[in-house]
Amino acid sequence: MTILKSMLLAHPRPPGDHLDTLADAAEALARCEQICVVCADACLAEESVDKLRLCIQLSLECAEICGATARLVLRHSAAPASALPAQLDVCLMACQACADHCELHGTDLGHCAICADTCRECQEKCNAVLGELALAAVGSTD
């Protein structure tokens, strides 16, 4: 069990069935934020920087959004009144835009290939949380 899972279990209101999904998403989001920060910095240091402007913008935007989304996921206990599901949707969009664009030059630039993969994995983990939240919402109105 990762430290983060132990930590969420030690919360007075632990996430129950959502433990794995939330922790996996929070970790994927933190990773994606970090990889996107490095991708922007790496693109900026490339000789072909003038062709990588949009890539840098999308990576910075994705890093920004992943970071904010991660912190919302971690404060899961506020869920009833929370903007979390909508924020996860935005994060899916930002990850997709960044991954799609990074893939365009992923064969030439190793960091863009890694960034695209990391964004895709982050999308998967965010989607899993959205799925569980939707199910839980249905369950709670039964």
Chain contacts with its own copies (rule: CB under 8 A): 3-4, 6-8, 10-13, 26-27, 30-31, 33-35, 37-39, 41-42, 44-47, 49-50, 53-54, 56-58, 60-61, 63-65, 67-68, 70-72, 74-75, 77-78, 81-83, 86-87, 89-90, 93-94, 97, 101, 109-111, 114-115, 118
Closer CB to its own copies, 47 or 142, in the complex:
47
Closer CB to its own copies, 45 or 142, in the complex:
45
Closer CB to its own copies, 77 or 131, in the complex:
77
d(CA 79, CA 87): 12
Q: How far is the CB of 142 from its own copies (least distance, A)?
A: 24
Q: Are 129 and 73 in contact (CB under 8 A)?
A: yes
Q: In this structure, what is the dihedral angle of CA atoms 53, 54, 60, 66, given to the nearest 10 degrees?
A: -160
Closer CB to its own copies, 72 or 129, in the complex:
72
Closer CB to its own copies, 61 or 132, in the complex:
61
Specify the residue for token string 């934020």: 33
Specify the residue for token string 């799609």: 100
Q: How far is the CB of 19 from its own copies (least distance, A)?
A: 12
d(CA 98, CA 17): 31
Kind plus residue range of the DSSP H or E element containing 116 = helix 110-140
C-alpha neighbours within 13 Å on the C-beta side of residue 122 = 37
Specify the residue for token string 């990773």: 31
Q: How far is the CB of 65 from its own copies (least distance, A)?
A: 6
